[in-house]
Amino acid sequence: MSFRLYNYVLSGNCYKVRLFASLLGVSYESIAVDFHPGQEHKGEKLLQISPAETLPIMLADDMVLTETSAMLGWMASKFDAGKNWWPVNEPTKITLIIQWLGFASDLTLTIGEARLHSMLNRDVDVDRALAGGKRALRLLEARLTEQSLRGSQWLVGENPTIADIACFPYAALAPDAGLEHDDYPVIRNWLYAIRSLDGFVTMPGIHEVHKLRDTENTL
């Protein structure tokens, strides 16, 4: 196995790693953690592995990783032979990708927090989280609009990169937090483009692109 992932099915951050592993065709060992209601990520067993009290946790190459940006960067460096997902030799792209990886953390702290409240009844400052989530969706819409005028569907350059993977889950899960996609047509196109990638996998709240025709039982 290439790495071990301490994983929770409803976590958008864990899903970033599951999705990227599937797009790269990489297999890994998944350990299910009872995040809710068990709070196992704060329990003795996991604190011995990582004191961060967050999921996911990745064990890879003797490292204990707790930041999904680092996990995606490591996976791309290790398994993407074409170097499109993390184009190390292109300084401008790498810089912009790092910027959008930072933005992905803002999505966790805004949409992710509001979603914890609406789905798991977590006590959070919902007004702050929702206001931040709306601001983040506006920024994302503006960036993707700018890119579409350049002829690209993706956040950086002309191909999907780890920036798209990092920002995708919480942008896609915004309706779970009470933020609908209606006002963001370019985000909707981008979500569709990611859901159409070969190797795409779902999580609860994010479904596959609809098949328009059942190919197995046609007339």
Ligand X SMILES: N[C@@H](CCC(=O)N[C@@H](CS)C(=O)NCC(=O)O)C(=O)O
Smallest separation (angstroms) from ligand X to the CB of 105: 5
From residue 44, give the alpha-carbon distance in Å to each of 10, 39, 50, 213: 22, 11, 10, 50
**Binding test (CB under 6 A) with ligand X, winner from 5, 12, 17, 184:** 12
Minimum separation from the CB atom of position 112 to ligand X (A):
6
11 belongs to the binding site for ligand X (CB under 6 A): yes
Query: Using the rule CB under 6 A, which residue among 17, 19, 41, 97 binds ligand X?
Result: 41
Distances, alpha carbon 34 to alpha carbons 11, 58, 138, 218, in Å: 11, 16, 33, 42
Which x/- pattern, by CB under 6 A, does the window 184-203 give for ligand X?
Answer: --------------------
CA pair distance 182, 168, nearest whole angstrom: 17
Return the DSSP state at 177: G
Number of residues that bind ligand X (CB under 6 A): 11
The answer to whether 54 contacts ligand X (rule: CB under 6 A) is yes
Under the binding rule (CB under 6 A), the answer on residue 13 touching ligand X is yes
Residue 68 binds to ligand X (criterion: CB under 6 A): yes
Which residues does 75 contact at the CB level (< 8 Å), separation at least 6? 3, 17, 20, 21, 24, 26
Q: Indicate whether 172 belongs to the interface with ligand X (CB under 6 A).
A: no
Nearest distance from C-beta of residue 107 to ligand X, angstroms: 9
**Helices marked H in 25-159:** 44-49, 68-79, 91-107, 113-120, 126-149
Site for ligand X in 81-110 (CB under 6 A): 105, 108
For residues 48 and 6, give the distance between their C-alpha atoms in angstroms, rounded to a whole number: 13
Contact footprint for ligand X (CB under 6 A): 11-13, 41, 54-55, 67-68, 105, 108, 112
